[in-house]
Amino acid sequence: MNIVDLHVHSTKSDGSYTPSELVTYALEKGLTAFALTDHDTTDGIDEALKAAEGKPIEVIPGIEFSSEYEGKDIHIVGLYIDYQSDFFKRRLVNFVNGRIIRNKEMCRRLTEHGMPVTYEELTSEFPDSVITRSHYAKYLLNHGYTRSLKEAFDRYIGDNGPCFVPRKKITPMRAVEIILKAGGIPILAHPILYHMSDARLEKLVATLKDMGLLGIEAVYSTYSPSEERQMRTLAAKYDLCISGGSDFHGNAKPGLDLATGYGKLFIPEEILINLKKKHSEMKMHPEQYKKTKILFTDLDGTLLNSEKQIGDYTREVLDLWAKAGHKLVLCSGRDINSVRSVKEYLNLNYPGMYLIGYNGGQIVDCETGKTIYQVSLTYDQILYVKEAAEKWGLHFHTYTDTNIISPSDDEELHYYQRVIKTPVIISEDVKEVKESGSCKCLIIELHDLEKSEAFRKSLLPWAEKEGITLLYSNPYYLEVFPSVSGKGASVKKLCELLSINPALSVAAGDAGNDISMIEEAGMGIAMANGSEDIKMAATTITAYDNDHDGLAHALYDLI
């Protein structure tokens, strides 16, 4: 019976065999096909295909994406991907950029701990490789900083090591979507290795199936017979194909061989034949894998350029986004009237639009004009902040449904009104919000930022007790709002109200008050002009800034 291996690594990621050497070895092992599935790269596929020309073996173009789900590292294998498509190449550039940010920070930490290394030195020592922690371990061993690879992990670069920097990964749901859009077969790799409860694993499989997952790696080097039966049963329950692979890495995994794993692995060609049938069905009915997405976008610094406008290309991409049936949400720390005015002056009139103001405190349905969700500060909380700001000599204002209420007509208010055109009521009293409360208060200090920070710290004990968040939306603006709101909470709430899978949500922003939104969404986009902390939180960083249609370039491939 013919045999195959659908999970194999080369030197292009963390294996010890070159792609050409893998072809030779696979022939020696009697394989009729193997899939080259290097971590987050397809750099070895051309070499492997060339080496296989005219030989009785099929090289399957593949990849293994590293993703994250509820704090766990989850791997999604893609088989038969169109790795040469412009779409797929752009996606891999984003993966590389994320790795570079993380790797440079790890080099900095190692240097601080007495093991000087630059990112350039590391990549020079391991040319043409996707840098992983195993490369750091080898570098430390080669340069005499540790006596073994194990010591490198135990002391420095393990999950709890002082020099380890976790790389923000895409979700497995997004990995499935990318593989499908690249024409490939998405497979959940080695589920047993995640050490999840049966219920938690089944929840993941059900979610991935909803996104378009087509297979489970039910045959694997380390599985016991009972574990393989368990995975086959799970695959049958969700109508998923069986896949199988050794996860061969060569010398990097001693004792684990191609095709046979630790000696008892056997992957019949029938498994590959069934996957090919499913692949053909998928290509015949691509419409069944298209899902409605929802975009939550910040305004200033993200959707809007420096002139508070939308670039021509950004508008073109938004038109395509809406035409494809996806939803658009304008999400801002501004009051809801100001968000509405932005929508109107930009002439954004797409079906299914929503507005979110006050950092998630209020959600408005544009088609009905009605508020569908709101959370507010109480009158007593507003008075407390107002009186505290007066004692510190800081500007304070709050909001009604239609107006800004400010005790003083001062420099800070005029600065705020450069952009925000909501009508203002100058009043020492804030009784207008006594009945309804207000979604937020704003403290503005233009000159003495240290005073603003000292004020924030003075409020922290009260804010923690009251369940209130104190957050800078920019260096001058200190936002005060209920902790149960926030942009991240609004993403979760609107997806719930619309019955949209949160995995299909996309959020884009550039500042600190966008981080919760970025982290809550299925995919988080940080602008190139954004803060460093939001870039660390995001799954994607735009190639261009907000003055050069950065969001549109990142959004195009999600349509």
Give me the sign of the Cα torsion angle 406, 412, 413, 419. Answer: negative
- Burial (CB count <10 Å: 0-12, 13-18, 19+), residue 35: buried
pLDDT for res 404 = 94
Domain assignment of residue 163, yes or no = no
Work out the average pLDDT over 76-105: 85
The rounded mean pLDDT for the chain is: 93
Q: What is the pTM of this model?
A: 0.75
- Do 50 and 187 lie in one domain? The reply is yes
pLDDT for res 419 = 87
CATH assignment of the domain containing 383: 3.30.1240.10
Side chain identity at residue 314, one-letter code: T
- Higher pLDDT: 526 or 100? It is 526
Domain assignment of residue 162, yes or no = no
For residue 318, give both structure tokens: 């938004």
- Higher pLDDT: 403 or 160? It is 403
Of 376, 412, 377, nearest in space to 392 by CA: 412
434-443, 458-467, 523-532: range with highest mean pLDDT: 458-467
- Do 278 and 371 lie in one domain? The reply is no
CATH assignment of the domain containing 77: 3.20.20.140
In angstroms, the CA 441 to CA 397 distance is 6
- Do 366 and 436 lie in one domain? The reply is no
pLDDT band at 169; cut points 50, 70, 90: confident
- Do 218 and 128 lie in one domain? The reply is no
- Do 316 and 199 lie in one domain? The reply is no
- Do 177 and 236 lie in one domain? The reply is yes
pLDDT for res 178 = 92
Domain assignment of residue 197, yes or no = yes
Taking CA atoms, 364 is separated from 275, 340, 402, 506, in Å, by 45, 9, 14, 18
CATH assignment of the domain containing 491: 3.40.50.1000
pLDDT for res 92 = 81
Of 436, 461, 482, the last residue of a domain is 482
For residue 130, is pLDDT > 80? Answer: no
pLDDT digits (tens, 9 = 90+) for 205-255: 999 998 999 999 999 999 999 999 999 999 999 999 999 999 999 998 999
Q: Confirm if 57 and 33 have CB atoms less than 8 A apart.
A: yes
Work out the average pLDDT over 35-43: 94
Domain assignment of residue 254, yes or no = yes
Which residues are within 8 A (CB) of 14 and not within 5 positions of it... i.e. 6 or more apart? Answer: 39, 129, 130, 132, 134, 135, 249, 252
pLDDT digits (tens, 9 = 90+) for 487-496: 999 999 999 9
Of 273, 288, 303, the last residue of a domain is 288
Domain count across the chain: 4
Side chain identity at residue 430, one-letter code: V
* Minimum mean pLDDT range among 134-138, 406-410, 411-415: 134-138
Q: Confirm if 265 and 219 have CB atoms less than 8 A apart.
A: yes
* Minimum mean pLDDT range among 155-169, 226-240, 263-277, 379-393: 155-169
- Do 275 and 398 lie in one domain? The reply is no
In angstroms, the CA 5 to CA 10 distance is 14
Which residues are within 8 A (CB) of 316 and not within 5 positions of it... i.e. 6 or more apart? Answer: 552
For residue 167, is pLDDT > 80? Answer: no
pLDDT digits (tens, 9 = 90+) for 333-378: 899 999 999 999 999 999 989 999 998 999 999 999 999 999 999 9
- Do 279 and 309 lie in one domain? The reply is no
Domain assignment of residue 440, yes or no = yes
pLDDT digits (tens, 9 = 90+) for 225-234: 999 999 999 9
- Do 413 and 354 lie in one domain? The reply is no
Domain assignment of residue 256, yes or no = yes
In angstroms, the CA 383 to CA 431 distance is 10
CATH assignment of the domain containing 109: 1.10.150
Work out the average pLDDT over 321-329: 96
Domain assignment of residue 551, yes or no = yes
Domain assignment of residue 164, yes or no = no
pLDDT for res 291 = 86
pLDDT for res 515 = 93
- Do 367 and 471 lie in one domain? The reply is no
Taking CA atoms, 362 is separated from 177, 373, 420, in Å, by 31, 6, 17
In angstroms, the CA 455 to CA 453 distance is 5
- Do 85 and 51 lie in one domain? The reply is yes
For residue 72, is pLDDT > 90? Answer: no
Domain that residue 342 falls in: 294-375+486-556
pLDDT for res 285 = 86
pLDDT for res 168 = 65
pLDDT for res 96 = 67
* Minimum mean pLDDT range among 68-82, 290-304, 527-541: 527-541
- Do 70 and 212 lie in one domain? The reply is yes
Which residues are within 8 A (CB) of 312 and not within 5 positions of it... i.e. 6 or more apart? Answer: none
Of 219, 254, 288, the last residue of a domain is 288
